[in-house]
């Protein structure tokens, strides 16, 4: 029954995209993120004062609606600069460049928060497949694929020693009605949480999570955990 469900819902697509994203990109760039942040902070000491935010913030909209320009998605998000590039030879391409963009996020008090943020690019593939007759993805199937992509990626990264402490996954479901500054509020909530972790404020109750912020418990697809992809490692970890 599980096998038939997996085949009919094309779960191998989400699994494959998550592993490809990790092996072909995140495993390469994430271990270098903190060094890039350190180099940037040495010249701009006031912009990234909270070390907890020295991560790559990865946006995972479950709608798979990915903007190529974050400034177009939300006017409270402004491109600032690029962090130090990493140049490697990859798959026959010499001097392939990997880099991340730093953004300033404006909050309700006109204060600016700074972080490296980008979309999980495989979501563009899921969206394109849902628009292609050959792939035959319905909107509902695309949503399930996006959820499974997030859960799979989360499991992979949890087992990755190289990537520990270098990323923040921001999975969210957009509201039914368009909100001008929805995306900036999502990012700001995560930035504030990280500031709270580094500079604890003694309060009786922690700041509440926005209703749109999702965790893996909410993304439970009622699939046996044994059927999720396991790390391709043989060293016992």
For position 224, what pLDDT does the model report? 40
Q: What is the 3-state secondary structure (H, E, C) of the chain?
A: CHHHHHHHCCHHHHHHHHHHHHHHHHHHHHHHHHHHHHHHHHHCCCCCCCHHHCCEEEEEECCCCCCCCHHHHCCCEEEEEECCCEEEEECCEEEEEECCEEEEEECCCCCEEEEEEEECCHHHHHHHHHCCCCCCCCHHHHHHHHHHHHHHHHHHHHCCCCCCCCEEEEEECCCCCCCCCHHHHHHHHHHHHHHHHHCCCCCCCCCCCCCCECCCCCCCCCCCHHHCCCCCCCCCC
Closest Cα to residue 145, out of 215, 231, 222, 221?
221
Q: Is 103 contained in some domain?
A: yes
* Separation of CA 142 from chain center: 17
For position 229, what pLDDT does the model report? 42
Mean pLDDT of all residues belonging to the chain: 82
Q: Is 206 contained in some domain?
A: no
Q: Is 219 contained in some domain?
A: no
Q: Is 145 contained in some domain?
A: yes
- The domain tally of the chain equals 1
Percent of the chain whose pLDDT exceeds 90 = 53
Q: Is 40 contained in some domain?
A: yes
Q: Is the pLDDT of residue 21 over 70?
A: yes
Q: Kindly state the average pLDDT of the residues 190-199.
A: 88
Q: Kindly state the average pLDDT of the residues 181-201.
A: 88
Rounded Cα distance, 171 and 158, in Å: 16
Stretch among 128-132, 186-190, 194-198 having the lowest mean pLDDT: 128-132
**pLDDT band, very low/low/confident/very high, at 222 (cuts 50, 70, 90):** very low
For position 205, what pLDDT does the model report? 46
* pTM reported for the whole predicted model: 0.81
Question: Between 34 and 210, whose confidence is greater?
Answer: 34
Question: Between 76 and 237, whose confidence is greater?
Answer: 76
Q: Angle at the Cα of 117 (from 83 to 135), degrees rounded to 5?
A: 120
Domain that holds residue 25: 19-198
Q: Is the pLDDT of residue 228 over 80?
A: no
Q: Is 71 contained in some domain?
A: yes
Q: Is 144 contained in some domain?
A: yes
Return the CATH number at 65. 3.40.50.12100
Residue 205, exposed/middle/buried by CB under 10 A (0-12, 13-18, 19+)?
A: exposed
Q: Is 220 contained in some domain?
A: no
Closest Cα to residue 179, out of 224, 210, 203?
210
Question: Between 237 and 181, whose confidence is greater?
Answer: 181
Q: What is the 3-state secondary structure (H, E, C) of 59-109?
A: EEECCCCCCCCHHHHCCCEEEEEECCCEEEEECCEEEEEECCEEEEEECCC
The 10s digit of each residue's pLDDT in 79-133 is 999 998 888 888 888 888 899 999 999 999 999 999 999 999 999 998 888 877 6
For position 84, what pLDDT does the model report? 87
The 10s digit of each residue's pLDDT in 30-88 is 999 999 999 999 988 888 888 999 999 999 999 999 999 999 999 999 999 999 888 88
Instruction: Kindly give the pairing relationship between strand 77-82 and strand 167-172.
Output: unpaired
């Amino acid at each position: 029954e599980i096998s038939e469900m997996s085949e009919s819902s094309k779960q191998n697509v989400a699994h494959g995209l998550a592993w490809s994203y990790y092996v072909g990109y995140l495993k390469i760039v994430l271990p270098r993120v903190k060094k890039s942040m350190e180099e940037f902070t040495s010249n701009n000491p006031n912009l990234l004062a909270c070390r907890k935010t020295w991560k790559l913030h990865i946006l995972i909209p479950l709608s798979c609606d990915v903007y190529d320009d974050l400034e177009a998605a939300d006017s409270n998000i402004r491109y600032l600069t690029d962090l130090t590039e990493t140049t490697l030879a990859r798959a026959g391409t010499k001097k392939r460049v990997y880099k991340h963009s730093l953004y300033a996020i404006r909050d309700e008090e006109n204060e600016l928060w700074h972080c490296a943020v980008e979309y999980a690019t495989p979501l563009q593939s899921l969206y394109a497949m849902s628009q292609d007759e050959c792939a035959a993805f319905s909107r509902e199937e695309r949503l399930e694929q996006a959820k499974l992509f997030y859960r799979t990626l989360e499991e992979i990264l949890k087992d990755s020693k190289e990537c520990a402490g270098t990323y923040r996954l921001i999975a969210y479901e957009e509201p039914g009605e368009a909100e001008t500054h929805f995306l900036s509020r999502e990012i700001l909530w995560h930035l504030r949480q990280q500031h709270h972790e580094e500079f604890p404020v003694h309060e009786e109750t922690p700041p509440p999570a926005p209703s749109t912020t999702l965790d893996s418990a909410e993304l439970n697809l009622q699939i046996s955990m044994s059927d999720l992809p396991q790390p391709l490692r043989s060293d016992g970890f």
